[in-house]
Amino acid sequence: MPGAAAGGLATLVVEKLRRHLGYARHRQGALSSMPKFADLHMHSTCSDGQRSPAEMVRAAAQVGLDAISLTDHDEVGGLDEAIAEGRACGVEVIPGIELSVIMDGRDIHLLGYFFDHHDLELRDFIRRFNECRLQRVHAMVRRLAELGAPLEVEAVLAKSTHGAIGRPHVAAALLEAGHVASVSEAFERFIGNDGPAYVAKYPFTPEEGVQLIHRLGGVTSLAHPGLYPDDGIVERFVTVGVDGLEIEHPKHTESQRSRFYRIAREHGLLVTGGSDCHGDRFGLQSLGGLKIPYARVEALRERAARVDTQS
């Protein structure tokens, strides 16, 4: 009977559809339970990386990363471009920064995540910070001229390959100009901490770094703690309220990692990690070469939601 045949066909179609939907649901379940990965440390041309923010995000999509954070040095200028590209190619881009703070005269790197990168206080801080590095060189050069050791600022700048210009470059220029016979003489006679041409660095402390990111609603992680001479630095950051430790970093040894995991457990710190990819310039592990489970990102997001912005 044609009616029965049609009915049979309808049943068959419905049955097929059901099976297909069941299969789709099953597949969806399989996809959502597939492990997701993130790389939370990388640099673009906005600081000392080789690729533009958008290129970094496209590269992240190609290597199958689900989430990344662009963490340029003392700079957030690439974040909007990266976030827009992330939307286009299905990669979650978390606002990030790698701040330079000073502890006992040493540069320490502090990562910030999930903060409001459009905040005017932050923009103002970044502008002042970048001006300060250059101003410090100009101030030292002025004092050196008064002391009878004139230098061209350009000669100092030529001694620096990228951003972080400072006293070693001034010393090298003094040596080249024949004002001193050695780098150590440059420090002893002119630019050592007690020298007549010494100018202090921009005094941005660990406390100020952590508090700045917290005020902007973000969380902090001490970058590559294994690259510093001792764990006193980790302890100092714990006392000023750092939220996490970047335990997963390509330059960390196995024994450092296990020590830092122990410290993180002791103090209830979150764990972050990433490739610290700069392109290929520094021979560091390339993008996605070091990735962390996405659950670490969720933990950061949850901590950021609870952060006290009044601190």
Q: Which stretch binds Zn ion (CB under 5 A): 103-111, 121-129, 140-148, 174-182?
A: 103-111
Is 141 or 247 the residue whose CB approaches Zn ion more closely?
247
Pairing outcome for strands 244-248 and 270-273: parallel
Coil, strand or helix at 309: coil
Which listed residue (38, 83, 180, 223) binds Zn ion by CB under 5 A?
223
Would you say 247 and 221 are in contact if contact means Cβ atoms under 8 Å apart? no
The site map against Zn ion for 57-76 (x = CB under 5 A) is --------------------
**CA 40 – CA 209 distance, rounded (Å):** 18
Is 83 or 223 the residue whose CB approaches Zn ion more closely?
223
Q: Which of 153, 154, 182, 183 is nearest to 168 (CA)?
A: 183
The site map against Zn ion for 107-146 (x = CB under 5 A) is --x-------------------------------------
Is 109 or 291 the residue whose CB approaches Zn ion more closely?
109
Could you give the residue ranges of the DSSP H alpha helices within the chain? 2-32, 53-62, 79-89, 120-146, 153-157, 167-176, 183-186, 206-215, 232-239, 254-267, 294-306
Least distance (Å) from Zn ion to the CB of residue 53? 15
Least distance (Å) from Zn ion to the CB of residue 224? 6
Q: Which stretch binds Zn ion (CB under 5 A): 7-15, 78-86, 98-106, 228-236?
A: 98-106
Least distance (Å) from Zn ion to the CB of residue 165? 17
Helices 254-267 + 232-239 axis angle, to 10: 30
Is 86 or 273 the residue whose CB approaches Zn ion more closely?
273
Is 93 or 223 the residue whose CB approaches Zn ion more closely?
223
Least distance (Å) from Zn ion to the CB of residue 278? 7
Q: Closest residue (Cβ) to Zn ion? A: 109
Total residues interacting with Zn ion, rule: CB under 5 A: 4
Least distance (Å) from Zn ion to the CB of residue 98? 5
Is 180 or 209 the residue whose CB approaches Zn ion more closely?
209
Element (H, E) at 216: none
Coil, strand or helix at 219: strand
Amino acid present at 157? L
Strand partners, 98: 73, 111
Which listed residue (39, 72, 85, 276) binds Zn ion by CB under 5 A?
276
Q: Which of 114, 112, 115, 98 is nearest to 46 (CA)?
A: 98
Q: Which stretch binds Zn ion (CB under 5 A): 76-84, 175-183, 221-229, 245-253?
A: 221-229
CA 276, chain centre distance (Å): 7
Would you say 36 and 292 are in contact if contact means Cβ atoms under 8 Å apart? no
Is 179 or 252 the residue whose CB approaches Zn ion more closely?
252
Least distance (Å) from Zn ion to the CB of residue 225? 11
**CA 186 – CA 165 distance, rounded (Å):** 16
Is 156 or 273 the residue whose CB approaches Zn ion more closely?
273
For Zn ion, the binding residues (CB under 5 A) are 98, 109, 223, 276
